[in-house]
Chains A and B, each alone.
Chain A
Amino acid sequence: MASLARLELSADEVDRYREQLSQILDYVADLDAIDTSGVEPLSHAVPISAPMRDDSTRPSLPPDEALANAPARDETAFRVPPILAGE
């Protein structure tokens, strides 16, 4: 998970977070005990329809701002490590 999220963690931290994440998952698992058969899944609590916008363009970010957080770039493209070389 740390590797997917690009986080650098020490061995201690890995242990500690593993413990904490397990607790969270156990806690959520308690919800499984409730019988929800016949109850429609609720994805949104507010019963209104999605607002929509007209099809007009607005200025985009200046490329330098769009790339401000990029660890590496090539001109105005983001650079990323080789993709298929495994995680």
Chain B
Amino acid sequence: MTRADFEAVIGLEVHAQLLTASKLFCGCSTTFGAPPNHHTCPVCLGLPGALPVLSRRAVEFAIRLGLAVGCTIRKKNRFARKNYFYPDLPKGYQISQYEEPICEGGRLDVAGKVVRLRRIHMEEDAGKCVHDAAGSSVDLNRAGVPLLEIVSEPDLSTPEEAGVYLRALRDIVVYLGVCDGNMEEGSFRCDANVSVRRAGARELGTRAEIKNVNSFRFVEKAIAYEIARQVDVVLSGGSVVQETRLFDSDRGITQSMRGKEEAHDYRYFPDPDLLPLDIADASIDDVRRTLPELPAARRSRFLVEYGISEADAVVLTADRVVAEFFDVVMRAYAGDGRRAAGFLRTDWLRVANDRGAADVVARVPAAKIAQLLQMVDAGTISIAARREVFALLVDAGEGDPEAIVRERGLAQTSDAGAIEAAVDAVLSANPNEVAAYRAGKEKLLSFFVGQVMKATRGKANPAIVNDLVLKRLRS
């Protein structure tokens, strides 16, 4: 047996922190970065007698994601206590959902492959411990912050697929506005269940769970390392142990998490403090009505409706603000979608990446973008002049494109007489090049065009210049 005889089976568990203002069961703020324990109250400290009250918005967000990925929404929900002892868990249990998660089923299309989702459930986050030699400091600001745990079926088989799945899921939660998708700050976290088996075997191997991975690149690296490690174990006659392993990003390896190896018995049971949650069809429909068009659907529509390229569609749908703006621009412009896409993904995006898309949209509304596109179409301004006018509009946050073109003298000359004079001047100033061109050195055409553009300070319409130069040279 060699390495090539093995295949990997990978399932991912993602924890997405919800973009609510308050915690899941109390009114404490979810804002990141406050000094330790400044966002705590009797509920999230687990003080006796305090009672949790569920956030409506967190439930809405769960339904939103569930609908977007095709899950069935459970009408009868129950919250369960997951019991374990750790200082970051002040109540001694985490409120989660166990046998009755809010979303079940569902799927994500990942690079031509369907990845089934097992479940999505609501739960509260734990606090944070900082360890040192003498003990640990506990900060409970994060305790009680709402999370969605999104569990995939083990349908992934390579580290790269896992990476694509994660990015697709991240794009969706960000698009839906339920999570900011920031892996580095921990608002989008991923644990990977990895096992290996003989290629084609039906039975699953023993799996290891990898935790502590905080970037897309590291997820792929950690899984790749873990697959190789498990194959080596099996090849050398050993067997894989079911355990939790931590990824060490400095060394690029996973390591057994010693001291926590005993199988956990979480003693799940329904939380008596929380009544079961009934979700009415009407409230599911309400959420459905507010669902934005998702990137994949929008991409296909852009291809058909505006005739733009796949590559442009991918770029323009990656961000919801940009995608929605493109739609508005196209309604105002009503011209060739490929030209509008070309401008948006180059000059426009360059500025938007710098200043934030929402800011640029606010400063230069779609109607003005449409005007700029139409002026280029009509030959009134060059592409370079459009870039300049656009930059001025962004900086000022106001202004009329046509007035700017007039004031700055950016209009392009399509006046054949004026251009002709410039062409003649250039040709008579460069007799040697003209002779060389006529002798067959046709590459010199761009030299002449460049000289004419220079002479007219870039205002001549390049298409007309090209035509006239050719006409003169051939006569």
Contact = CB atoms under 8 A, between A and B. Distances in A.
A60 B41 contact: yes
Contacts, number: 123
A-B complex: 9 closest residue pairs judged by Cβ atoms: A58-B27, A43-B270, A55-B57, A77-B137, A49-B278, A78-B138, A52-B56, A77-B36, A50-B275
Given A55-B55, A79-B137, A4 B277 contact: no
Contact of B37 (A4, A44, A54, A67): A67
Interface in A13-63: 43-44, 46, 48-58, 60-61, 63
27 contacts: A43-B78, A43-B272, A48-B275, A49-B277, A50-B54, A50-B276, A52-B55, A52-B59, A53-B54, A55-B56, A56-B27, A58-B28, A58-B41, A66-B40, A66-B41, A74-B137, A77-B139, A78-B37, A78-B138, A78-B140, A79-B138, A80-B87, A80-B129, A81-B135, A82-B133, A82-B136, A83-B135
A75 interface: yes
Interface string B245-273: 00000000000001100000000001010
Given A82-B134, A83-B131, A52 B272 contact: no
Interface in B98-134: 129-131, 133-134
Interface centre among B37, B87, B135 (most CB of A within 10 A): B37
Given A54-B56, A57-B22, A83-B87, 11 more contacts: A49-B276, A52-B53, A54-B55, A55-B58, A58-B41, A60-B38, A66-B140, A67-B37, A76-B38, A78-B37, A78-B137
A67 B140 CA distance: 11
A84 B28 contact: no
B264 to A, nearest CB: 15
Interface string B16-49: 0000111000111100000111111110010000
Nearest to B19: A55
B138 A55 contact: no
Contacts of A78: 37, 87, 137-140
A11 to B, nearest CB: 24
Contacts of A57: 21-22, 27-29
Q: Interface residues of A toward B: which range?
A: 20 to 34
B274 interface: yes
B21 A56 contact: yes
Interface centre among A46, A67, A80 (most CB of B within 10 A): A80
B45 A66 contact: yes
B138 to A, nearest CB: 4
Contact of A53 (B36, B55, B87, B270): B55
Nearest to B27: A58
A84 B259 contact: yes
Contact of B54 (A52, A67, A75, A84): A52
A83 B88 CA distance: 11
Contacts of A51: 53-54, 275
Contacts of B21: 55-57
A40 B40 CA distance: 37
Nearest to B99: A41
Contacts of A79: 135-138
Interface of A: 4, 43-44, 46, 48-58, 60-61, 63, 66-67, 74-84
A44 B76 CA distance: 13
A46 to B, nearest CB: 7
Contacts of A84: 258-259
Contacts of B259: 84
Nearest to B38: A63
Contacts of B38: 60, 63, 76
Nearest to A83: B136
B28 A80 contact: no
B29 A54 contact: no
A4 B307 CA distance: 66
Contacts of A81: 135-136
Interface centre among A48, A54, A61 (most CB of B within 10 A): A61
A61 B42 contact: yes
Interface string B271-303: 010111110000000000000000000000000
Contacts of B20: 55
A28 to B, nearest CB: 14
Contact of A60 (B39, B133, B136, B278): B39
Nearest to A67: B37
B36 A49 contact: no
Contacts of B37: 63, 66-67, 76-78
A82 B27 contact: no
Contacts of B129: 80, 83
B33 to A, nearest CB: 14
A55 B135 CA distance: 36
B61 to A, nearest CB: 10
A76 B56 contact: no
B86 interface: yes
